[in-house]
């Protein structure tokens, strides 16, 4: 099997990044490729803008699943690539173009070289938001194809090509979006005593939110509250009637997530009382932690160290969010980082992953699936 087409596939997909549940061109591209493969062992189902593909095993006793995400981010690309994004304002800045090309490479190999067990490939939309894993898992798209084992990868710019980084147990954090709307009374800048200034309220709120992690979370645990965007007011000489804060909460334990949200609500209630304003909270989408099943992860690490040309590194947990955690909550499995050695990190407008990682990823996954799926 030639690996060159999958580099080109990555470049094709890189040009058409689409946001969550809007991946119409991406789905069409994937379907067009899949329909060009031998169909005798292949079954294809669509779900929303995603896909589920089954390869019939020769003598199945289990179903092994591999998941890839397919959406892009609302980021304007700032690379000089000849194949840069053609969708202004959108970019594959999290490597999902890599993820898809690797998945197609593995899928193609096993269409041509079937193994004993069934294989299911999940092309999941909306990982970046609002979250496609949980509704996809709860739909009927996997009816009769429910996996016994599932795994996935995510590119890692900080690791060199040829490296897998992984750990048993917690890998990625629990995450929750955070949106807070404040509404007071606007007015002339010369008469502040007749108003309730929501810019001042918002600034006070940001400061108070930062005390939650410092004073309400166990110092031996970890949590993050980040406010990434504040919008308020209209012009310089009008006191702002409204303000909006947008941010994220990340914790390494489910218990801390519950506690942090309770404290956020309490702090916002205090701002509402203190500044005599209305305050509404929307916690938005929440992603369950990515927790790697110990036995399967340790087995994968040992096998890849001995039987692949990849270097296996045991990493630390990260505050990264990934909705693959919902799948791991229901199905035994794991996720790992794949090194792509880029100077710019994930979600950066100049992310430049090394395409040599595509071949490494395809070959490594093929070896592991052959090991798990043949008896």
pLDDT, tens digit (0-9, with 9 covering 90-100), for 98-146: 999 999 999 999 999 999 999 999 999 999 999 999 999 999 999 999 9
Domains of the chain: 4-171+289-373 (3.40.630.10), 174-286 (3.30.70.360)
Token pair listed for 141: 């798209």
Which listed residue (23, 127, 128, 181) is catalytic? Answer: 128
**What is the model's pLDDT at position 2?**
63
pTM tops 0.85: yes
List, for residues 302-318, the tens digit of each pLDDT value.
Answer: 999 999 999 999 999 99
Measured in degrees and rounded to the nearest 5, phi and psi for residue 109 equal: -60, -45
Q: Which of 110, 171, 167, 158 shows the shortest CA–CA distance to 363? A: 110
List, for residues 238-263, the tens digit of each pLDDT value.
Answer: 999 999 999 999 999 999 999 999 99
**What is the model's pLDDT at position 4?**
72
Instruction: Please say if 343 is a catalytic residue.
Output: no
Residue 375: pLDDT above 90? no
Which listed residue (23, 69, 77, 322) is catalytic? Answer: 69
Q: Quote the strand ranges of the chain, DSSP E.
A: 42-47, 50-55, 63-69, 118-124, 149-156, 163-166, 169-172, 174-183, 187-188, 223-232, 238-239, 242-251, 278-282, 286-287, 290-292, 311-314, 333-339
Residue 220: pLDDT above 90? no
**What is the model's pLDDT at position 3?**
65
Instruction: Please say if 128 is a catalytic residue.
Output: yes
List, for residues 325-359, the tens digit of each pLDDT value.
Answer: 999 999 999 999 999 999 999 999 999 999 999 99
């Amino acid at each position: 099997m030639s690996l060159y087409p999958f580099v080109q596939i990555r470049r094709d997909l890189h040009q058409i990044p689409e946001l969550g549940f809007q991946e119409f061109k991406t789905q069409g591209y994937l379907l067009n490729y899949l329909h060009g493969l031998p169909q005798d062992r292949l079954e294809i189902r669509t779900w929303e803008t995603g896909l589920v593909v089954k390869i019939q095993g020769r003598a199945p006793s289990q179903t092994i699943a591999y998941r890839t995400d397919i959406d892009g981010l609302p980021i304007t690309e700032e690379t000089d690539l000849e194949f840069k994004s053609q969708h202004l304002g959108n970019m594959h800045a999290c490597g999902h173009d890599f993820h898809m090309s690797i998945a197609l490479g593995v899928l193609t190999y096993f269409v041509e070289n079937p193994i004993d067990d069934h294989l299911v490939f999940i092309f999941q939309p909306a990982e970046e938001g609002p979250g496609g894993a949980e509704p996809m898992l709860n739909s009927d798209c996997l009816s009769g194809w429910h996996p016994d084992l599932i795994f996935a990868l995510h590119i890692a710019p900080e690791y060199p090509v040829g490296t897998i980084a992984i750990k048993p147990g917690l890998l990625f954090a629990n995450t929750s979006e955070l949106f807070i709307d404040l509404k007071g009374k606007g007015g002339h800048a010369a008469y502040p005593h007749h108003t309730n200034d929501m810019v001042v309220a918002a600034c006070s709120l940001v400061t108070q939110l930062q005390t939650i992690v410092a004073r309400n979370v166990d110092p031996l645990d970890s949590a993050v509250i980040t406010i990434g965007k504040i919008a308020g007011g209209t012009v310089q000489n009008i006191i702002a009637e409204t303000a909006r804060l947008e941010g994220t909460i990340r914790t390494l334990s489910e218990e801390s997530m519950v506690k942090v949200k309770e404290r956020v609500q309490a702090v916002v209630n205090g701002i509402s009382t203190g500044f005599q304003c209305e305050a509404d909270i929307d916690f938005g989408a929440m992603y369950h932690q990515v927790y790697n099943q110990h036995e399967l992860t340790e087995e994968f690490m040992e096998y890849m160290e001995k039987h692949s040309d990849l270097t296996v590194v045991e990493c630390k947990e990260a505050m990264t969010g990934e909705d693959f955690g919902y799948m791991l909550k229901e199905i035994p499995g794991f996720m790992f980082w794949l090194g792509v050695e880029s100077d710019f990190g994930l979600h950066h407008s100049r992310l430049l992953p090394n395409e040599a990682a595509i071949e490494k990823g395809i070959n490594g996954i093929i070896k592991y699936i052959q090991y798990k799926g043949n008896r």
